[in-house]
Amino acid sequence: MLAKRIIPCLDVRNGRVVKGKKFMDIQDVDEPSKLGKYYSESGADELVFYDITASNEDRKTSLEFVKKVAEEINIPFCVGGGVSSLDDFKYILRSGADKVSINSSAVKNPNLIKEASERFGNQCVVLSIDAKKNEKGSWDVYIKGGRENTGLDAIEWAKKGVELGAGEIVVNSIDEDGMKNGYDLELLKKIVEAVNVPVIASGGAGTYEHFLEAVNYANVDGILAASVFHFGEIKINDLKKYLKENNVEVRLAN
């Protein structure tokens, strides 16, 4: 059994890590490379950085923080936000990132997934899906930092993304984002069952049990969180020990 990955998520705005609820009420947290180094030393398996206003402001990802992070940490990390071309992939990977996450641009130009996968390898291409439940009980895909409903069905979009070459899917529940009530387990389970690549849970972690539920109920490959780590409510090593005690395979720090 592959070890489940614990992945802190760092939302970056104007060169600072920030955190909000349901993409609103944004609070300042810390400097990206400093926080990244702390997590790298604290037992995180990977990190994800999102330049959260790049797509909405129609600009490229800020590469300055990517280079600084690469100098400070020794674990894999993924970068997303404002990625819309193969050149963006190239510059982010050259700046030291291991993976590139695409969201809004993939919806607008699905072929970007295919082209990036063919050029850089599917292990570098992460499809991030911001999903929100609709009145019919299914989930719509949102873009531009949760501001625009595309009308796409989240499960169908995940399947299409993998067919085009995405090597990993990050599923973020807008309804649960920053709320600490637990992950959207039904959505995660449906996507895990629909695709044959790793699926990462995002949006909603508040307790140790929430992480365990995401693994046991939805069988996700990785569990991503922000608030509980940033504000010191859950320590990564403590979380890993808890998961290990509950028969979840994790990599414990030496």
The rounded Cα 116 to chain-centroid distance in angstroms is 18
CB count within 10 Å of CB 40 equals 19
Q: d(Cα 108, Cα 117) in Å, to the nearest integer? A: 17
**Phi/psi zone of residue 247: left (φ > 0), alpha (ψ -120 to 50 degrees), beta?**
left
11 is catalytic: yes
Q: Which of 130, 140, 177, 184 is catalytic?
A: 130
- List phi, psi (to 5°) of 228: -65, -30
Categorise residue 204: left if φ over 0, alpha if ψ from -120 to 50, beta otherwise: left
Burial class (CB in 10 A: 0-12, 13-18, 19+), 170: buried
Under DSSP, is residue 88 helix (H, G, I), strand (E, B) or coil? Answer: helix
CA separation for the pair 175, 140 (Å, rounded): 11
Rounded Cα distance, 78 and 97, in Å: 6
Active-site residue among 11, 88, 140, 177?
11
Looking only at the bridges linking them, the beta strands covering 139-143 and 148-153 are antiparallel
Whether residue 184 lies in the annotated active site: no
Catalytic residue numbers read 11, 130
